[in-house]
Structure 1
Amino acid sequence: MRRRSVLRLGTAALAAPAVLALPTGTARAAGLAIRGVDLSSLPKGEDKGAVFRYADGTRGDAVRILREAGANWARIKVWVDAADGYHGKPHLLAMARRIQDQGMRLLVDFHYSDTWADPGKQFKPAAWTSLTGAALEAALAEHTADILGSLARQGTPAAMAQIGNEINGGMLWPDGRSTDWGRLAGLLNAGVTAARSASPGIRIALHLAEGGDNGGTRWWFDNAVARGVSFDVIALSFYGYWHGTLAELRTNLHDAASRYGRDVLVAETAYPFRLGSKDSHPDIIAEPSQLVPGYPATPQGQAAWMRDIGEVVASVPGGRGLGIFYWEPAWTAVPGNGWDETDPSSGNGWENQALFDYDDRALPAMWWP
């Protein structure tokens, strides 16, 4: 059954998206303060020919389409020296202007790598390979200050910064592994100090994966607090097909907010609107057996996922559940914008979890109250 099309929204949407009527069956995020989208891959996608459309088929700018649907924050990752030339300072500065022009706020996601950083890989940038100890801390601090200082001088300061990406096992391996908390804390505090100095008033987030793992979250943040690591926000990735149940996420968010007296944030989530890849690259979530029970791979199932995870975050007592970032809603399948930045022929394994369908049209799950 097709849902009725969403009409293109006017400029009033930018001022007060919460009062707009939503299309039937779309996601509701329980009035979250942060209704975020990770747009890290958008510049490269656009350069390679990606097209984005409103639900009625009208072509538009992806940032504006998402903003008119209610998104009010954007998250952009930063690599040190990527092989394809993307995810560095020039593209970040350009995106920061676009984000600000739409009345949105910016979260900068530092990977401290030349490539993807996650729990299974935290590779040093090539330029830092020989650095250790104080020299490595200084390089991290200089990079952090350069990025955030450049944003501030441009007049588009970041509102929040992640010091590392999914750093359950630490970062800048082997130096910053979480098996050596003394060195990891030194690296984290070097980044935090540089960020606060370069961009006064910025909020600092520390980001783990495994958002449903309360034991792991406690272990990691107990160590960070014990070693005097300064932070404002606990950020967690939570993908329901990998990281546990929504009930486990709820337990962890409630506990973390109470135990550490910090705000909490789902820094990454997503869900498929269909199965079946648009390009020749297999999708990461490609089989019915991978889906979360009760959430079909349909536009309605994707919207229901966003509604329900939003309700979980909003349930954190004291208003400490800040919100959600949807990961890469505009990473659609276009040749040249694949997973491997060293291989232009590589494909995209994520296009069935974007918030634009295979006809490039906005999906119901992007509509936030």
Structure 2
Amino acid sequence: MMHRRTLLRAGTAALAGPVALNALAGGTAHAVPLPVQGVDLSSVLKAEDLGAVWRYSDNTVGDPLRILQEGGANWVRLKVWVDSPDGYHGKQQVLTMAQRANALGMRLLIDFHYSDSWADPGQQRKPAAWAGLSGGALEQALYDHTFDVLDGLRGQGTAASMVQIGNEINGGMLWPDGSTDDWDALAGLLTAGARATADASPGTEIALHLAEGGDNGGTVWWFDNAVARGVPFDVIALSFYIYWHGTLDELQINMNDVAARYGKDVIVAETAYPFTLDDADGHPNIIADSSLLPDDFHPTVEGQAAWMGALSEVVASVPGGRGRGMFYWEPAWTATPGNGWDPADPSSGNAWENQALFDFTGRALPAARWR
């Protein structure tokens, strides 16, 4: 998700449509119920090691997983990097977090980046260990990595319920080999990941994840290519940040269309919204300018909660119950020294803390409650 955020697209702030306005007019403070009410908690273990503290709304200190679970979250999403510079986001951390989530009755989505750091539409770098691989050898490395993590999860009794084969792969992954400039090669890599999932963790659903959730033409072009090459998948996953990815009406149109067109459930795999434009650590926030935001949702605690209500209504409105749910991206990534955006630089700051579901004192915000 991360470095695409420097490629800001102004001009997507217009918010149209009755769904969003109904959420505000109805006075709802929380998201509507969905089968998948998810939170990406990839940064939590590192933050805990560095002394981060999270609190309930009454200021009582608590476990961030439990705080969010008691608020209604029922899925945890965790990213996997192959060889992260900071030693986090690998197999061992995923196994640890999976045990904690399982103890709370939460299901698991594993998000394979197939990189040593952030993978998104602007960067899909090969892991250093795979730099010299191509063709069948690269497919085998991807298969082995995927199998290893998922087999480890199943072996400890915390099998993943869903897996992403790649993260925001609009332009492909493992560049240059898996670029959409060579769809046959990309399809081979995606299929290798799907085979590894089926072999290591039977019953785990396979999601393919794109950014630009409001771009129907781009989504259809991408999935038409995947389907034409027989790439296996069960779920269409889309990122949707309203300050980059269009309007809620455009998201609704896209989700309705692709759910019907491909006969698949759809999830919003990433979303977020600021509760303030201030920052807590002196590092510039990714969203710090109100001109990037729609008029209907203010950068306030109330605006953040209203955003969750509006987006969840869009997902719930996909015909046939195909709108499975949504994930809030890194709601617990507060401004903790050493836990910044750059895994290779402990001095880097956090550009996201004003979009967390915890305020600058670590206290849970209203949007952390799904009910």
TM-score, normalisation: structure 2: 0.92
Asked if the contact 2:31/2:367 (under 8 Å) is kept, the reply is no
> Which letter does structure 1 place at the counterpart of 2:203?
G
Partner of residue 330, structure 1 = 332
Q: Residue 349 in 1 paired to residue 354 in 2?
A: no
Residue deviations 1:253-276 (CA, integer Å, cap 9, x gap): 000100000000000000000011
Partner of residue 322, structure 2 = 320
Partner of residue 165, structure 1 = 167
Asked if the contact 2:109/2:163 (under 8 Å) is kept, the reply is yes
Residue deviations 1:216-254 (CA, integer Å, cap 9, x gap): 000000000000000000000000000000000000000
Partner of residue 153, structure 1 = 155
Residue deviations 1:300-329 (CA, integer Å, cap 9, x gap): 000000000000000001110000000000
Partner of residue 140, structure 1 = 142
Q: Residue 79 in 1 paired to residue 54 in 2?
A: no
Partner of residue 195, structure 2 = 193
Give the superposition deviation at 1:30.
2.7
Partner of residue 125, structure 1 = 127
Give the superposition deviation at 1:111.
0.1
Decide whether aligned partners of structure 1 residues 321 and 274 sit closer, same or farther in structure 2, where only a CA change above 3 A counts: same
SS in 1 for 2:109: strand
Cα distance in structure 1, aligned partners of 2:29 and 2:186: 39
Deviation larger for 358-367 or 162-171: 358-367
Q: Residue 219 in 1 paired to residue 221 in 2?
A: yes
Asked if the contact 2:30/2:369 (under 8 Å) is kept, the reply is yes
Asked if the contact 1:299/1:363 (under 8 Å) is kept, the reply is yes
Give the superposition deviation at 1:359.
1.4
Partner of residue 94, structure 1 = 96
SS in 2 for 1:211: coil
Cα distance in structure 1, aligned partners of 2:309 and 2:216: 22
Cα distance in structure 2, aligned partners of 1:161 and 1:29: 24
Q: Residue 247 in 1 paired to residue 261 in 2?
A: no
Aligned counterpart for 2:35 among listed residues 33, 37, 44 = 33
Q: Which runs of 5+ in 2 are unaligned?
A: 1-25
> Which letter does structure 2 place at the counterpart of 1:258?
A
Cα distance in structure 2, aligned partners of 1:219 and 1:315: 23
Aligned counterpart for 2:259 among listed residues 241, 252, 257 = 257
Partner of residue 5, structure 1 = none
Cα distance in structure 2, aligned partners of 1:190 and 1:59: 43
Partner of residue 67, structure 2 = 65
More relative contact order in 1 or in 2 (CA 8 Å, sep 6+)?
2
Aligned counterpart for 1:358 among listed residues 357, 360, 371 = 360
Give the superposition deviation at 1:28.
3.4
Decide whether aligned partners of structure 1 residues 256 and 287 sit closer, same or farther in structure 2, where only a CA change above 3 A counts: same
Q: Residue 42 in 1 paired to residue 44 in 2?
A: yes
Cα distance in structure 2, aligned partners of 1:181 and 1:345: 39
SS in 2 for 1:187: helix
Aligned counterpart for 1:293 among listed residues 267, 271, 295 = 295
Partner of residue 51, structure 1 = 53
Give the superposition deviation at 1:29.
2.9
Give the superposition deviation at 1:26.
5.8
Asked if the contact 1:109/1:163 (under 8 Å) is kept, the reply is yes
Residue deviations 1:126-185 (CA, integer Å, cap 9, x gap): 000000000000000000000000000011100000000000000000000011100000
> Which letter does structure 1 place at the counterpart of 2:47?
G
Two-structure CA RMSD over aligned residues (Å)? 1.0
Deviation larger for 282-291 or 200-209: 282-291
SS in 1 for 2:185: helix
SS in 1 for 2:62: coil
Cα distance in structure 1, aligned partners of 2:108 and 2:151: 14
Residue deviations 1:187-213 (CA, integer Å, cap 9, x gap): 000000001110000000000000000
Q: Which runs of 5+ in 1 are unaligned?
A: 1-23
Aligned counterpart for 1:110 among listed residues 105, 109, 112 = 112
Cα distance in structure 1, aligned partners of 2:32 and 2:352: 26
> Which letter does structure 1 place at the counterpart of 2:256?
H
Give the superposition deviation at 1:31.
2.0
Asked if the contact 1:49/1:334 (under 8 Å) is kept, the reply is yes
Asked if the contact 1:33/1:323 (under 8 Å) is kept, the reply is yes
Cα distance in structure 1, aligned partners of 2:323 and 2:252: 10
Give the superposition deviation at 1:104.
0.2
Residue deviations 1:64-107 (CA, integer Å, cap 9, x gap): 00000000000000000000000001100000000001110000
Give the superposition deviation at 1:25.
5.8
> Which letter does structure 1 place at the counterpart of 2:194?
V
SS in 2 for 1:204: strand
SS in 2 for 1:248: helix
Cα distance in structure 1, aligned partners of 2:31 and 2:282: 34
